[in-house]
A and B are shown apart, each in its own frame.
Chain A
Amino acid sequence: MLYREAGQFKTTYAQDMAMFPIRQDRIAFILLLALAFLVVPLLAKLQIWPFGGEYLLRAILIPFLILSLAAIGVNILVGYCGQISLGSGAFMAVGAYSAYKFGTGINIPLAWLGTAIVIPPLPVLPSILLGGLMAAFAGVLFGVPSLRIKGLYLAVATLAAQFFFDWVFLRVPWFTNYSSSGSVNAPALNFFGLTMNSPIERYFICLSFVTVFALLAKNLVRGNIGRQWMAIRDMDIAAELMGIRPLYAKLTAFAVSSFIVGVAGALWAFVYLGSWEPLAFSIDRSFQLLFMVIIGGLGSILGAFLGAAFILVLPILLDQVPHALGIPISVETVSLLVFIITGSLICYLLIVEPHGFARLWSTAKEKLRLWPYPY
Chain B
Amino acid sequence: MLRTFFLMATAAIGASVAVAPALAQQNEQYVPALVYRTGPYAPNGIPFANGVMDYWNLINERDGGINGVKLAPEECETGYATDKGVECYERMKSKGATGAAYFSPLSTGITFALTEKVPADKIPLLTMGYGRSESRNGAVFPWNFIAAGSYWTAADVAIQHIAKELGGADKLKGKKISLVYHDSPYGKEPIPALEARAKQDGFTFKAIPVTHPGVEQKSQWLSIRQDRPDYVLLWGWGVMNPTSISEAAAVGFPRDKIIGVWWAGAEPDVVPGGAQSAGYKALMLQHGAGKYQVHADIEKHLISKGKAQVKAEEAGHVLYNRGLLNSMIGVEAIRTAQKKFGNKPLTGEQIRWGFENLDLTAARIKELGFEGMIKPMKFSCEDHQGADEARVHQWDGKEWKIISDYYTADRKILDPMVKDASAKYGAEKKIDARDCSKES
A-B contact pairs, 7 of them (CB 8 A): A170-B209, A180-B189, A272-B86, A319-B77, A324-B21, A330-B37, A331-B37
Q: What CA separation (Å) do A317 and B12 show in the bound complex?
A: 9
B38 / chain A contacts, CB cutoff of 8 Å: 332, 335-336
Q: What CA separation (Å) do A279 and B82 show in the bound complex?
A: 9
Please report the number of residue pairs spanning A and B whose Cβ atoms sit closer than 8 angstroms: 124
Q: What CA separation (Å) do A235 and B82 show in the bound complex?
A: 41
B421 / chain A contacts, CB cutoff of 8 Å: 180
A330 / chain B contacts, CB cutoff of 8 Å: 37, 75
A180 / chain B contacts, CB cutoff of 8 Å: 188-189, 191-192, 421
Is chain B's binding surface mostly helix, strand, loop or mixed? helix
Contact yes or no, B183 A170, CB < 8 A: yes
**Interface: A211 (CB within 8 A):** no
Q: What CA separation (Å) do A104 and B430 show in the bound complex?
A: 13
* Given A197-B120, A331-B77, A363:B2 Cβ within 8 A: yes
* Given A53-B93, A320-B19, A360:B1 Cβ within 8 A: yes
**Interface: B439 (CB within 8 A):** no
Contact yes or no, A324 B2, CB < 8 A: no
Contact yes or no, B184 A277, CB < 8 A: yes
Contact yes or no, B91 A59, CB < 8 A: yes
Q: What CA separation (Å) do A183 and B151 show in the bound complex?
A: 15
Measured CB to CB, the residues of B under 8 A from A are: 1-2, 4-5, 12, 15-16, 18-22, 35, 37-38, 42, 46, 74-77, 79, 82-83, 86-87, 90-91, 93-94, 108-109, 112-113, 115-117, 120, 132, 183-185, 188-189, 191-192, 209, 212, 421, 425, 428-430
B109 / chain A contacts, CB cutoff of 8 Å: 183, 277, 279
B4 / chain A contacts, CB cutoff of 8 Å: 352
B430 / chain A contacts, CB cutoff of 8 Å: 188
Q: What CA separation (Å) do A276 and B184 show in the bound complex?
A: 10
A197 / chain B contacts, CB cutoff of 8 Å: 120
Contact yes or no, A280 B1, CB < 8 A: no
**Interface: A55 (CB within 8 A):** yes
Contact of A277 among B46, B112, B115, B428 (CB under 8 A): B112
Contact yes or no, B132 A181, CB < 8 A: yes
Contact yes or no, B75 A331, CB < 8 A: yes
**Interface: A24 (CB within 8 A):** no
C-beta contact mask, A46-64 vs B, less than 8 Å → 1, else 0?
A: 0001100111001100010
Q: What CA separation (Å) do A364 and B6 show in the bound complex?
A: 10
With contacts A59-B86, A170-B209, A273-B82 known, what are 9 further pairs, Cβ within 8 A?
A55-B91, A59-B90, A180-B189, A186-B116, A188-B429, A197-B120, A277-B185, A317-B19, A332-B46
* Given A277-B112, A331-B35, A334-B77, A314:B12 Cβ within 8 A: yes
Q: What CA separation (Å) do A279 and B40 show in the bound complex?
A: 15
User: Would you give the shortest CB distance from B82 to chain A, in whole angstroms?
Assistant: 6
B132 / chain A contacts, CB cutoff of 8 Å: 181
Please provide the chain A residues from 278 to 295 with a CB less than 8 Å away from any CB of chain B in the complex: 279-280, 282
Q: What CA separation (Å) do A183 and B189 show in the bound complex?
A: 10
**Interface: A367 (CB within 8 A):** yes
B42 / chain A contacts, CB cutoff of 8 Å: 332
Please provide the chain A residues from 159 to 188 with a CB less than 8 Å away from any CB of chain B in the complex: 170, 180-183, 185-188
**Interface: A234 (CB within 8 A):** no
**Interface: A316 (CB within 8 A):** yes
Contact yes or no, B5 A360, CB < 8 A: yes
* Given A55-B91, A353-B1, A324:B112 Cβ within 8 A: no
A353 / chain B contacts, CB cutoff of 8 Å: 1, 5
Nearest B residue to A315 via CB reads B84
Contact yes or no, A276 B91, CB < 8 A: no
Contact yes or no, B20 A50, CB < 8 A: yes
Q: What CA separation (Å) do A50 and B20 show in the bound complex?
A: 7
Contact yes or no, B20 A280, CB < 8 A: no
A183 / chain B contacts, CB cutoff of 8 Å: 109, 112, 185
B425 / chain A contacts, CB cutoff of 8 Å: 185
B83 / chain A contacts, CB cutoff of 8 Å: 63, 272-273, 280
Contact of A273 among B19, B113, B209 (CB under 8 A): B113
* Given A59-B91, A170-B209, A321:B184 Cβ within 8 A: no
Contact of A275 among B112, B183, B188, B189 (CB under 8 A): B112
**Interface: A325 (CB within 8 A):** yes
Q: What CA separation (Å) do A148 and B93 show in the bound complex?
A: 52
User: Would you give the shortest CB distance from A193 to chain B, in whole angstroms?
Assistant: 15
A126 / chain B contacts, CB cutoff of 8 Å: none
A364 / chain B contacts, CB cutoff of 8 Å: 2
**Interface: A151 (CB within 8 A):** no
Contact yes or no, B20 A324, CB < 8 A: yes
User: Would you give the shortest CB distance from A237 to chain B, in whole angstroms?
Assistant: 34
Please provide the chain A residues from 308 to 355 with a CB less than 8 Å away from any CB of chain B in the complex: 314, 316-321, 323-325, 330-332, 334-336, 352-353
**Interface: A274 (CB within 8 A):** yes
Q: What CA separation (Å) do A374 and B20 show in the bound complex?
A: 36
Q: What CA separation (Å) do A185 and B79 show in the bound complex?
A: 23
Q: What CA separation (Å) do A317 and B74 show in the bound complex?
A: 17
Q: What CA separation (Å) do A330 and B183 show in the bound complex?
A: 31
Contact yes or no, B77 A335, CB < 8 A: yes
User: Would you give the shortest CB distance from A270 to chain B, in whole angstroms?
Assistant: 11
Contact yes or no, A58 B90, CB < 8 A: yes
Q: What CA separation (Å) do A333 and B112 show in the bound complex?
A: 28
Q: What CA separation (Å) do A185 and B425 show in the bound complex?
A: 9
A55 / chain B contacts, CB cutoff of 8 Å: 90-91, 94
Contact of B116 among A185, A318, A321 (CB under 8 A): A185
Contact yes or no, A317 B184, CB < 8 A: no
Nearest A residue to B132 via CB reads A181
Contact yes or no, B91 A185, CB < 8 A: no
Nearest B residue to A359 via CB reads B1
User: Would you give the shortest CB distance from A88 to chain B, in whole angstroms?
Assistant: 16
Contact yes or no, B112 A181, CB < 8 A: yes
B117 / chain A contacts, CB cutoff of 8 Å: 274
Contact yes or no, B90 A321, CB < 8 A: no
Nearest B residue to A166 via CB reads B211
Contact yes or no, B113 A274, CB < 8 A: yes
A49 / chain B contacts, CB cutoff of 8 Å: 20
Q: What CA separation (Å) do A318 and B18 show in the bound complex?
A: 11
B74 / chain A contacts, CB cutoff of 8 Å: 323
Counting chain A CB atoms within 10 Å of each CB, the highest count among B4, B21, B37, B421 belongs to B37
Q: What CA separation (Å) do A332 and B80 show in the bound complex?
A: 13
Q: What CA separation (Å) do A265 and B94 show in the bound complex?
A: 28
Nearest B residue to A268 via CB reads B83
User: Would you give the shortest CB distance from A38 to chain B, in whole angstroms?
Assistant: 22
